[in-house]
Structure 1
Amino acid sequence: MNKQPIGERTIRFQDCDPYGHLNNSKYLDYMINVREDHLIHEYDINIFEMAQVQKKAWVVGHNDLIYMRPALVMEKVKVKTAMIDFNDRYVQAEMIMTNEAETHIKAVLWTKFYHFDIAQQRGIRHTEEQMELFKEMALLVEQQSTEERAKHLATALKVAVA
């Protein structure tokens, strides 16, 4: 199982500020969209179908986003995603945006998604089947905060590139 798939995107003009930098809020869009693609294509988890058919979903409870370098208009970027934590009520995903050559980090996002019953409008527990899948999917990280993780990744990348 690929615990850390990578997706590619091109930064679009309409998502940028007058300086040609990706707008701060758009980092979330690009990174979450890549994660959604990975859930479908890598793990066969279609969150949209789940919401419509089973009336179950995950809702964002927390985002922590570290901006390190600007993503520029028409630049190709890569987004690596992984599940880094979970319990019976939430999953936490990590999304790392780099330049196309993967020589520097643009941003690191940690998002905590809570499992939710749409019909009953309340939080719910994951099923045993989901918990087993999450154990296989999880990429455990040592760092306890997004800041620590961003520093660790940047340092590791400098060593690898040098």
Structure 2
Amino acid sequence: MKISVENIVKSPETKLFVRFQDCDVLGHLNNVRYFDYFLNTREEHTRYYYALNLLELSKKYQANWVVTNHQIAYLRPADLGENIIIQTQLVHFDETSIVIEASMYNETRTHLKSLLWTTMRYVSSTTGRSTEHSAEVLEMLAAIQVNEVEHQPEGFQKRIAEITQVFKNAAPTKKV
């Protein structure tokens, strides 16, 4: 499970198309479907960018991450037929948990549409109780964590303001 830190993409992005089946009667992405888009994209990012298969990891360490909390903000609608960009990144970890940030932008990255912080607890598959990350898992988490994002559980609204301020002050192509 050694991740090469050379040329690692800590904040991978994926372009997605908002499909009819995922929208509400107003033609906006259904609120529940945001979670599917975000979590499925993160799973793809871990597989493609870090060569991590979460099922294999859970078998190897007899533990897996279980969602304990979501914080989500719906700032602008994602519309039917629209191309969107989803970026995911690990913004925090400790001995027993991780926090993933997922952000959704319009195709030109001029507007933040939604932001999600998902907190996950590392849980033993044999006991069903919280367990500590192994040294190898901690090393992997350290390699992919984004240090530029200051994570504090009460700082979710502050993080939204930081990202949206970038759009007010910078060119539309600047990445967050």
- Give the TM-score category using the shorter length: over 0.9
Q: How does 1:78-89 map to 2 (within 5 A)?
A: 78-89=85-96
CA distance in 2 between counterparts of 1:52 and 1:23 reads 34
1:32 counterpart (26, 31, 39): 39
Deviations 1:2-45 (A, max 9, x none): 11110111111111110001111111110111111111111122
The one-letter code matched in structure 1 to 2:136 is: E
The answer (yes or no) to whether the contact 1:92–1:111 under 8 Å persists in 2 is yes
The answer (yes or no) to whether the contact 1:13–1:73 under 8 Å persists in 2 is yes
TM-score w.r.t. the length of structure 2 is 0.86
Q: What's the CA shift for 1:118?
A: 1.8
1:147 aligns with 2:154: no
Structure 2 gaps, min length 5: 1-7
Residue 131 to residue 77, structure 1, CA distance change in 2 (3 Å): same
Structure 1 gaps, min length 5: none
TM-score w.r.t. the length of structure 1 is 0.93
1:63 aligns with 2:73: no
Residue 52 to residue 13, structure 1, CA distance change in 2 (3 Å): farther
The one-letter code matched in structure 2 to 1:159 is: N
CA distance in 2 between counterparts of 1:86 and 1:52 reads 21
State the aligned residue count: 162
1:92 aligns with 2:99: yes
Q: What's the CA shift for 1:106?
A: 0.5
Percentage of identical aligned residues: 33
Q: RMSD of the alignment, in Å?
A: 1.5
Deviations 1:32-77 (A, max 9, x none): 1111111111112211233356542110011000111000111111
Deviations 1:62-104 (A, max 9, x none): 1000111000111111111110000010010100100111110
Moved over 4 A (4+): none
